[in-house]
Amino acid sequence: MKSFIKKCAAIVFFVTDIAATEVYLYNDYGTGIIYRLTVNTYGSSSVSERVLGNSSSVQLYNTLRPATLLIRTNKTLSRFTDLKPYLQQIAREEAAHPGQDAYIYIKPSGLREEWNISINWAASGEMETDILEEILSGLHGLDYQKKTQEICAYDYTKATAGGYIHLCNALKKEANNVNKRIYKMFPGKKEPDPSTMKDLKRLIDQLHNALQKYRIRDNQ
């Protein structure tokens, strides 16, 4: 009986080891795409629908949790495409890629094909994450998504001509510092420390407040 229990435990540990593959979506389509992710956890489902900018990646789920993934272009009337065949491919291949993450790579498409997709494998944590793209996708809150969009959509022609800083460039510079400090120096990290994210959100608040003053000044 003890021998049987040990064998069962070994099987559980083995399955856990090969199943915990992190799955990412990488967009190299040439423009932003929209993805809809449904993840099932303990009998309940969570659904998220977000925009993923070009040349950006996002961590989706790990294969211990059943999931469905749909993508479509940013065009108004475009339809979602189910990526079930690619999720099934990851499930089939993950045992041959221990310690690696799976990347659903959306490549540029030809005129006659809707999607050009491949599955790539890389050492865990190797893919760089862009914190600004995470914010713009709404991953760190809709309020900061909206503020960041407003900061980077503003026309700074008048402001910079008057000697004032370009607020979006200032935000991008700090976001790049976060990317280098957090993700590149520590490639195994999946997200910034809470204190780092808090500092970045504080900067967004400050820049957004400054933006209101820019608007008033530019309209005088």
Mind giving me the DSSP string for 111-134? TT-S-EEEEEEEETT-S---HHHH
Average pLDDT score over residue span 54-83 = 87
Q: Are strands 100-107 and 22-27 parallel, antiparallel or unpaired?
A: parallel
Contact 118/85 with Cβ under 8 angstroms?
no
N-terminal to C-terminal alpha carbon distance within the chain = 84
pLDDT band, residue 129 (cuts 50/70/90): low
pTM over 0.85: no
Task: Answer whether 67's CB lies under 8 Å from 82's CB.
Answer: no
Contact 69, 104 (CB under 8 A): yes
CATH of 2-123, one of 2.60.40, 2.60.120, 1.10.10, 1.10.3470: 2.60.40
Provide the percentage of residues in the chain whose pLDDT is more than 70: 80
pLDDT digits (tens, 9 = 90+) for 156-191: 998 888 899 999 888 888 887 776 555 443 444 445
